[in-house]
Amino acid sequence: MARHLVHSPGSFFLLCFHLLLAALVATAQNAPVKVRVGVILDLMSPVGHRRRSSIQMGVEDYYAAHPRSATRVELHFRDSVGDVLDAASAAVDLIKNTQVQAIIGPKTSAEADFVSRIGDRAHVPVLSYSATSPALSAAKTPFFVRAAANDSFQTAPIAAILVAFGWRAAAVLYEDSPYGTDILPALADALQRVGAKIMDRTAVPSDATDARLDAALYHLMAMPTRVFVVHMVYPVAARLFRRAKMAGMMSEGYVWVATDGVGSFMDMSSTEDVEAMQGVVSLQPYVQMTDAVKNFPARLRARSRRENSSDDGVAGSILMRLWAYDTAWAIAAAAETAHVPGPAFQTPKRSTRLTDLDRLGVSATGTTLLKAVLATTFDGISGKFKLVDGQRQMPGYEVLNIIGKGARTVGFWTPESGISQDLDANSAREMKQILWPGEPRSTPKGWVVSPNAQVLRVAVLVKRGFKQFVGVSVNSTTGETQVTGYCIDLFDEVMKNLPYPVSYRYVPRDPSLDSYGKIVDQEADMIVGDVTITASRMTKVDFTMPFTESGWSMVVAVHKDTSPTMWIFVYPLSASLWLASLAFFCFTGFVVWVIEHRINPEFRGTPWQQFGLIFYFAFSTLVFSHSRKSSLVVGRLLISMYTITSLP
């Protein structure tokens, strides 16, 4: 007997429901985990729109290349309106209400400083592709990640440019903001390492009027240095160079070296800006021109045209957009590597909650995601993405010379090789020909003698002899005092080799009228001459090291002895001296005879005997012990004194 299976309509629909439910469960189990990432931008500006498109393209391209990823970055955009407080408010909203697990942005260093502290408190990593201030670091806020170049990196190539042309001093014009001021310590250290220094620092407010810019420029014009380093955001720098051109400071003799705040934004420069910057040398982080880099502007422009037609043709830094693209790629790669789960925040345990900051929770996934981001490395569209100490490393910088209708590359700088014409290891260690302001044929000297500079008074000692060392004479025609000599030539060469100009004039002084000590005590700034170094003088003035050997020497003419004679022993004394000695012989003998002949029988006899005894006694006291002795104390004393005074 055959059996037939009979199914009711109800059982059939029940079976279909179970199969559909199983499929939904399987799909849910295989669905990617959503990773919420907040993005803070100035969405009111066209530049912000372009950067938003760059971040979206970075996430989309990553998942197009990794379609089986277990995670999916979900972007949540907030508008900072270009304000620090609004950026902080956006960060609080993203963490508290949306519970994002990471934040990209904001735009400026001042905004990033505030937002990074909020992220550090909530353990939410903050990745910035545009905050380049050296004051921002992982040492202060561990959850801050700089996906851009630190401004302190470019101080070394700036110092290398100055050294390459022999400039040892420069004046710095910087924006009065965290972006501008925070680079100064690193720049001063970099210049000091190469033997250069900052002669002056001039701050320019970001909202400075034309009058304020003119005042800063005229202040620098009065200085002797003609080498200026500019560190400002592009809009302020462009206005500065336009005012400098009007003031005549973009002419021959001036040198302008700008940081990447100018070089990286040349693609947004107007014709007027380029005309005002003729001859400026600037830096730009090096990016290899691959096919992806060449095609990126066209892709971005097409996307922006679809989303917002008003953004078509908007200029901006292509470098910042590349860094924004790589930052989005990095957070997507880190979330996939770390297998980050969905958002989870621990509610803070505080008895009093006064503000939204007090109500922020602590992300349970923030530390894991941060470690994954710091360990992420890949070949990004702008080059190798690698983080060291929480900030991206740059392979090198490109040196640009703004000339004609744009900028041309004149060299490269890398930490390993320094300045070179190309990145080739065998490339020349120098830059290509640079056209400076005014297009001079030679490299500018870098300084001038300022009319406002103090003239140093250099005292010169007027000597009667040895004029080959220092000679002072008066021109009979013009009446001018001329100072010449070896010491003067040496002093002039030393002053010429100083890295900055020094005005000085020679002031002749006669040491016969005033002693050397009084000349040292007077108000002369320097002294050139043979001033002896003594302990008392060293307490008042500083001496240079002696540049000639010390000591005395005698130079005499050589005469050949052509007439030898037996009377050579009389040459040391003159004839008058010999006669005077003979007279004293006789006088001494006579005095002794007068004293002795009355009581001493040895001094008596005929007149001729006594007369001969006078000469004999005087001569014998010099050469041998005479036979006749004086019997009086006075005679003996007289003989002894005569003998002592007669010794050679």
Pair 96, 118: CB distance under 8 Å: no
Pairwise CA distance, residues 407 & 410, whole Å: 9
Whether pLDDT at 2 is above 50: no
Q: Cα separation of 97 and 563, whole Å?
A: 121
User: Among 159, 198, 191, which residue's Cα sits nearest to residue 500?
Assistant: 198
The DSSP line for 332-376 is HHHHHHHT--S--EEPP--S---STTTT--EESSHHHHHHHHHT-
Contact 460, 508 (CB under 8 A): yes
Work out whether the CA dihedral 247, 248, 254, 260 comes out positive or negative.
positive
| Measured distance CA(251)–CA(271) in Å, rounded | 19
Q: What is the mean pLDDT of the chain?
A: 83
**Cα angle at 397 between 259 and 321, to 5 degrees?**
80
For 341-359, how does the pLDDT look when each residue is reduced to its tens digit (9 = 90+)? 878 787 766 656 667 677 7
Q: At what angle do helices 575-596 and 607-623 cross, to 10 degrees?
A: 120
Mean pLDDT of the 15-23 span: 58
pLDDT at 588: 76
Q: Which tops the pLDDT comparison, 630 or 562?
A: 562
User: Confidence band (pLDDT; 50, 70, 90) for 99?
Assistant: very high
pLDDT of residue 414: 92
Q: Do 516 and 509 touch, CB atoms closer than 8 A?
A: no
3-state secondary structure of 413: strand
21/25 Cα distance (integer angstroms)? 6
Who contacts 536 (Cβ-Cβ below 8 Å, separation ≥6)? 517
DSSP H helices, 167-282, are 178-181, 184-193, 210-221, 234-246, 260-263, 271-276
Q: How far apart are CA 464 and CA 320, in angstroms?
A: 73
pLDDT at position 608: 75
- Residue 343's identity, in one-letter code, is P
Cβ pair 469, 530 in contact under 8 A: yes
Tens digits of residue pLDDT in 620-633: 665 554 555 555 44
Enter the DSSP assignment of 77. E
Which backbone phi and psi does 316 adopt, to 5 degrees?
180, 175
pLDDT reading at 647 higher than 60: no
The average pLDDT across 277-298 equals 92
pTM of the model: 0.71
> Which DSSP letter does residue 95 get?
I
β-pair type (281-285, 397-403): antiparallel
- pLDDT score recorded for residue 12: 58
Query: CB 186: neighbour CB atoms within 10 A?
Result: 17
pLDDT of residue 113: 92
The span from the CA of 397 to the CA of 418, in Å, is 10
Q: Which pLDDT belongs to residue 187?
A: 95
Give me the mean pLDDT over the 309-318 stretch.
64
| Torsions phi, psi for 34 (to 5 deg) | -80, 125
**What is the CA angle 84-89-92, rounded to 5?**
130
Can you give the pLDDT at residue 49? 86
Do 397 and 285 touch, CB atoms closer than 8 A?
A: yes
Quick one: how many helices (H) and strands (E) in the chain?
Answer: 20, 24
Work out the average pLDDT over 221-242: 92
CB-neighbour burial class of residue 27 (10 A; exposed 0-12, middle 13-18, buried 19+): exposed
Considering 135-144, 336-345, 444-453, 555-564, the range whose residues carry the highest mean pLDDT is 135-144
What is the three-class DSSP state of 345?
strand
State the average pLDDT over residues 248-264: 92
Residue-wise pLDDT for 410-431, tens only, equals 999 999 889 998 888 777 888 9
* Chain segment 523-546, per-residue pLDDT in tens: 678 888 777 788 877 877 888 887
Q: How confident is the model at residue 213 (pLDDT cuts 50, 70, 90)?
A: very high
Helix or strand holding residue 460 (H, E): strand 456-461
Runs of H (alpha helix) within 183-233: 184-193, 210-221
DSSP helix/strand/coil, 522: coil
Question: How does pLDDT run across 259-274, given as a tens digit for each residue?
Answer: 998 988 888 888 899 9
Q: Using CB atoms within 10 A of its CB, is residue 456 exposed (0-12), middle (13-18) or buried (19+)?
A: middle
Quickly count: other Cβ atoms within 10 Å of residue 30's Cβ. 9
Decide if 153 contacts 286 (C-beta within 8 A). no
**pLDDT 10s digits, 196-209:** 989 899 999 989 99
Quick one: average pLDDT of 608-626? 65
List, in order, residues 6 or more apart from 219 with CB less than 8 Å away: 200, 202
| 559-583 average pLDDT score | 75
Q: What's the CA gap between 260 and 398, in Å, rounded?
A: 9
Task: Report which of residues 585 and 219 the model is more confident about.
Answer: 219
Which has more pLDDT, 607 or 369? 369
Q: Is the pLDDT of residue 495 over 50?
A: yes
Residue tagged 């620090």 (tokens) = 84
For residue 648, pLDDT over 60 is answered with no
HSE-up of residue 601 (Cα within 13 Å, Cβ side): 0
Least confident of 3-17, 286-300, 381-395, 551-565: 3-17
CA distance 112 to 136: 8
> What does the pLDDT read at residue 639?
54
User: Do residues 107 and 41 lie in contact, with contact meaning Cβ atoms separated by under 8 Å?
Assistant: yes
Closest residue by Cα to residue 135 from 153, 111, 151: 151
pLDDT at residue 324 above 80? yes
3-state helix, strand, coil in the chain (%, to 5): 40, 20, 40
Cα–Cα dist 101/239, whole Å: 40
Total count of residues recorded for the chain: 648
Residue 330 has pLDDT above 90, yes or no: yes
Residue range 362-415, pLDDT digits in tens: 899 999 999 999 999 999 999 999 999 999 998 899 999 999 888 999 999 999
